[in-house]
Structure 1
Amino acid sequence: MEEINIQELREKAEGYYQRGEFFCSEAIIKVIKDAFAPEISDDIVKMASGFPVGMGRSGCTCGALSGGIMALGMMFGRNKPNGTEVDKTMQISKELHDKFREMNKSTCCRVLTKGLVMGSDVHKKQCVRLTGEVAEEVAKIIIRESK
């Protein structure tokens, strides 16, 4: 695996969100795919389009966390019935979930954004940070697990 600059990857994910090019989950899938699996079509980003703002604006699980877990599945998940890769993928997905909760006290979008006006600068700044944070943590896990 070639050298990955995790800070650059984080900044790229944050930039996608900041500029309005992609939402959280989409930005994470895009930067992880580009860095670790460029042979995969950009069409995979479409799978992440329903997860922003807590799954289609429902306020449930943070879209950044959902995107991070999708990215881990993209890298380590199974694609054949009864494949044992699912065990590892669930383990590292739980690791990401627990780290996110530890860093942010909640995984629920409506809790994370409570009191914020959707689309405001404060809301956007927080979501940019969460997007970068998850992209960074996912990259660290991928690098560690790929050794």
Structure 2
Amino acid sequence: MVDNEQEILDTAYDKGFEYERKYGYCSQAVLSAIQDIFGGIDDEVIQASHSLAGGGSLDGDGTCGGYGGAMMAISAFFGRKRDQFGQGDVADWMDSSKLSKEVREKFIDEYGSIICNDIQKEIFGKSYNLWDPREFEAFEEAGGHDDKCPGVTGNAAKWTAKVLLDEGIEPKL
């Protein structure tokens, strides 16, 4: 365990929050926060996560992009590599799924779901169609990128950082 664990977790939250507030795309915000703190995530991974935001393609009916980014970050450290296809059995490749499940449980405890629309209903009282310009404007006016989604994203980054610290991944800070 790192001596300054709470500082690392606070930094993860703050970075995730700020990236989402300034730039949107929760999946990329989580991955960028983790990259800043731990390294180990290529810019191409951040790019590849882009359309996971807003429940996938901004449609809201899929997994929260913040959780998607968390799973990608954990898998960047503990997932199976392509050159390992066909090696070992299923049990040899369960670590990233087990660790991602820890973050999933945090989402369930905090928001009742990992689904974007459900999380929106929890934090806004309703969900928004982000493709509809009027609803997107209402989403923004309700704090979409001021504090609501940045708070979710900050938590996802913090929870991911906690998993990585608990598994012995050393921060580069």
Amino acid at match of 2:10: Q
The alpha carbon displacement at 1:71 in A equals 0.6
In structure 2, which of residues 9, 14, 31 is the aligned counterpart of residue 11 of structure 1? 14
Give SS of 1:50's match: helix
**Deviation per residue, 1:16-64 (Å, 9 max, x gap):** 11112x42110111111222125x4322210110111101112111111
**Deviation per residue, 1:109-144 (Å, 9 max, x gap):** 112223253333422221100000010000000000
Structure 1 consecutive aligned stretches of length 4 or more whose deviation exceeds 4 Å: 1-4
Aligned residues: 145
CA distance in 2, matches of 1:41, 1:122: 31
On the 8 A contact 1:113/1:123 being kept in 2, the answer is no
Structure 1 residues 9-88: aligned runs within 5 Å: 9-20=12-23, 22-37=24-39, 40-59=41-60, 60-79=62-81, 80-81=84-85, 82=87, 86-88=93-95
Gaps spanning 5+ residues in structure 1: where?
none
Greater RCO between the two (CA within 8 Å, min separation 6)?
A: 2
Residue matched to 2:104: 97
CA distance in 2, matches of 1:96, 1:9: 14
Amino acid at match of 1:99: K
Residue matched to 1:128: 150
The alpha carbon displacement at 1:85 in A equals 5.3
Task: Indicate whether 1:138 and 2:145 are aligned.
Answer: no
CA distance in 1, matches of 2:11, 2:48: 24
CA distance in 2, matches of 1:66, 1:120: 25
TM-score (normalizing by structure 1): 0.87
Give SS of 1:128's match: helix
Q: Which structure has the bigger radius of gyration?
A: 2
**Cα root mean square deviation, aligned:** 2.1
Gaps spanning 5+ residues in structure 2: where?
128-137
TM-score (normalizing by structure 2): 0.75
CA distance in 2, matches of 1:47, 1:77: 16
On the 8 A contact 1:14/1:129 being kept in 2, the answer is yes
> Measured at CA, do residues 112 and 87 of structure 1 come closer, stay the same or move farther in structure 2, by a change above 3 Å?
same
